[in-house]
Structure 1
Amino acid sequence: MTGGQRRLGLRRRLDASALRWRARLDTPWVDRTLPWLTAGLLSLILLAIGLAVQRQLDGGPNLAAWTQAAWNLDRGRGSVSSLAGGNMVTDQWAFASLPLLWIGRWLPIGGVLAVAQAASLGLAVVPLWRMARQVARLRLGVTMGLMLAYGAAPVLYTANLSGWSAVVPAVPAIAWAAWFGQRRRWVAYGACVAVALLSRADVGLVLVASGILAISSGDRRSGGLTALVGAVWTAAFLLIVSPVVPRGPLTATEAVLARGQAPLAVLRDPLRLVTDLILQPNVGALVVLVGPLLFLPLVVPRFALPALPPLWLGLVGEEAVRQAQGPTPGADRLPTVLLLALVPMVLAAIVALARIGQPSVSRIRVDHRVVGAMVLASAATFVQVAPASPFNEPWSWGSQDAADGARMEAVERLDEIDAGGGVTVSPQLASLVAERRSVHEITAGPPRREWRPQTRAVLLDTTAAGDDGVALWERRDEDEAVAGLEARSYDVEYRGAGIILLVGPAE
Structure 2
Amino acid sequence: MKGNRRRPNWTDEWTGEHVTVRVHEARRRFDMRLLRWQAQLETPAVDRFLPWIAAFVLFVSLSLLALAKNRDLGLGLGIGFPLQAIHLLEGGRPPVISELGLNMFAVQAAFLFVPIAFLARFVPTTEMLLVFQALALALPVVPIWRIARGPANLRIGAASALLLAFALHPSIHNLNLAGFHTEAIALPALFMAYLAGRRGQWVRLGLLSLVVVAARADLGLALGALGLVLVLEDRRRPGWILAAFGTAWFVGMAFVVQPMFGHGVYPHLGAFAAFGDSALGVLGGMLSDPFGVVADLADRAAFEKLLLLLAPVLFLPLIRPRYLLPVLPLFGLYLIADVPDLGLGNPQQDVATLPFVMIAAAYALQRLGRRGVSRVLVDRRILSVLVLTALAFFVRDAASSPYEQPWDWGRRDAVDTARLTAVGMVERWDRVLATPTVFPLVAERTTALVLKDDTPFLPDLELVAGIDVVIFDETAANWARSSVRGFGGVLGMLDFEERFAEEGVHLWVLAP
Moved more, 396-405 or 445-454: 445-454
1:432 equivalent in structure 2: 441
Which of 466, 476, 483 does residue 489 from structure 2 map onto? 483
| Contact 2:344 2:399 (8 Å CA) reproduced | no
Moved more, 182-191 or 299-308: 299-308
1:321 equivalent in structure 2: 339
2:30 equivalent in structure 1: 14
Cα shift at 1:334: 5.4
Matched, 1:243 2:266: yes
TM-score (norm 2): 0.89
Gaps (5+ residues) in structure 2?
1-9, 11-17, 260-264, 272-277
Q: Cα 1:292–1:446, aligned 2, differ >3 Å: closer, same or farther?
A: closer
Matched, 1:135 2:151: yes
Alignment partners' CA distance in 1, 2:280 and 2:371: 43
Moved more, 12-21 or 173-182: 12-21
Q: Deviations over 1:451-477 (max 9, x none)?
A: 231212111111115xxxxx3x11111
| Contact 2:317 2:358 (8 Å CA) reproduced | yes
**For residue 308 of structure 2, what is the amino acid of its counterpart?**
V
1:50 equivalent in structure 2: 66
Matched, 1:172 2:191: no
Q: Deviations over 1:43-67 (max 9, x none)?
A: 1111111101111112210211000
| Contact 2:106 2:267 (8 Å CA) reproduced | no
Q: Deviations over 1:390-436 (max 9, x none)?
A: 11101111111111000000011123xxx311111111111100111
Q: Map of 1:56-455 to 2, 5 A cutoff?
A: 56-240=72-256, 241=259, 242-245=265-268, 270=286, 271=289, 273-317=293-337, 320-322=338-340, 333=345, 335-415=347-427, 419-445=428-454, 448-452=457-461, 453-454=464-465, 455=467
Cα shift at 1:446: 5.2
Cα shift at 1:89: 2.8
Moved more, 193-202 or 265-274: 265-274
| Contact 2:226 2:239 (8 Å CA) reproduced | yes
Alignment partners' CA distance in 2, 1:275 and 1:340: 22
Q: Deviations over 1:124-161 (max 9, x none)?
A: 11011001001111011111111111111111111111
Alignment partners' CA distance in 2, 1:130 and 1:399: 39
Q: Deviations over 1:284-337 (max 9, x none)?
A: 1111110121111112211113431442112222xx014xx7xxxx86635320
Report the secondary structure of 1:494's partner residue. Answer: strand
Alignment partners' CA distance in 1, 2:221 and 2:165: 25
Q: Cα 1:246–1:291, aligned 2, differ >3 Å: closer, same or farther?
A: same
Which of 471, 490, 500 does residue 494 from structure 1 map onto? 500
**For residue 123 of structure 2, what is the amino acid of its counterpart?**
L
Number of aligned residue pairs: give it: 476
CA root-mean-square deviation: 2.1
Alignment partners' CA distance in 1, 2:280 and 2:151: 33
Cα shift at 1:85: 2.1
| Contact 2:457 2:483 (8 Å CA) reproduced | no
Gaps (5+ residues) in structure 1?
249-261, 466-470
Report the secondary structure of 2:108's partner residue. Answer: coil
Q: Cα 1:411–1:269, aligned 2, differ >3 Å: closer, same or farther?
A: farther
| Contact 1:306 1:341 (8 Å CA) reproduced | no
| Contact 2:197 2:230 (8 Å CA) reproduced | no
**For residue 511 of structure 2, what is the amino acid of its counterpart?**
P
Alignment partners' CA distance in 1, 2:191 and 2:183: 13
Q: Deviations over 1:233-259 (max 9, x none)?
A: 0111232134244659xxxxxxxxxxx
| Contact 1:300 1:348 (8 Å CA) reproduced | yes
**For residue 284 of structure 1, what is the amino acid of its counterpart?**
E
Cα shift at 1:90: 4.0
Cα shift at 1:350: 0.9
TM-score (norm 1): 0.89
What is the percent sequence identity of the aligned residues? Answer: 35
Alignment partners' CA distance in 1, 2:343 and 2:207: 35
